[in-house]
Amino acid sequence: MFRAAASSALVVCGLIALSACASSVPVQSAQTLPKVRVTKPPPEVPDSVQISARYTERFSTPLPTDPQQAAVISGFRESEVLWDQSSEALRLTAATPEWVTGAALTKLRKLVQSYASGNIVPVGVDRLYDTKITSLAAGTATVTSCDDGTAFNIADRATGRTPAPVPVTQQYAFGVFGMRLVAGRWTLSSVTGVGYPDQRVKACMQAA
């Protein structure tokens, strides 16, 4: 989901599209986690979701066992899938603004416009792995994830043709995702991406 066209280059990563990210903060222990009431949990998102006949999103990290952390990651997964579906449809799907909000929604709108103007769609497989919560408060959370785009590409919507793959160093990214509790849902509110040669991307490549 968070593979996105990066200006004239092929990709940096679906949701991960730009640069620089904040330093992470360790998650509090289960005993001190704030009690957050999630009144509208997302539907269960499987580890592999077929977005279209040619595009699949995969989540390689299991859901946390802690219910509150699981609710955050479930919201993250749902927002990723809706991001992908909007990117493939070249328009925001009906449910997308419920799960993608704020700066993230603005970024998604720009991505969809870019795909539409170029008449391109995402294809292949995007794999998110080493996904974790690095901070969790009463109504906000931060999720980080590695993104493996070695099997990801973009295709011309009319011909189905894809460009040559980018160098392997451009096929991995590290993403920081701001999550915010809105109307009882954990929604994606911001997206920041980091590319090679950042040390976090190098770590993602080693962990792939």
Q: How far apart are the first and last CA of the chain?
A: 18
Nearest 10 degrees: CA dihedral of 126, 131, 134, 138? 80
Lowest mean pLDDT across 11-25, 76-90, 153-167: 11-25
For CA atoms 93, 16, 1, 179, the dihedral sign is negative
In 30-119, DSSP assigns E strands to 48-52, 55-59
Q: What is the C-alpha to C-alpha distance for residues 125 and 15, in angstroms, rounded to an integer?
A: 14
Q: What is the C-alpha to C-alpha distance for residues 6 and 193, in angstroms, rounded to an integer?
A: 11
pLDDT at 28: 45
Could you tell me the CATH number of the domain that includes residue 166?
3.10.450.50
Compute the mean pLDDT over every residue in the chain, rounded to the nearest whole number: 86
* Better pLDDT: 47 or 1: 47
pLDDT at 27: 47
DSSP 169: G
Range of the domain at 159: 2-207
Name the residue among 176, 194, 15, 155 with its Cα closest to residue 96.
Answer: 15
Average of per-residue pLDDT across 81-108:
97
Q: Is the pTM of this model over 0.75?
A: yes
Whether the Cβ atoms of residue 208 and residue 33 lie closer than 8 Å to each other: no
In the chain, DSSP assigns E strands to 2-3, 15-16, 48-52, 55-59, 120-136, 140-156, 172-182, 185-194
User: Does pLDDT of 53 surpass 70?
Assistant: yes
Per the structure, how many domains does the chain have? 1
| 102-147 confidence digits (pLDDT tens) | 999 999 999 999 999 999 999 999 999 999 999 999 899 999 999 9
Q: What is the C-alpha to C-alpha distance for residues 113 and 108, in angstroms, rounded to an integer?
A: 9
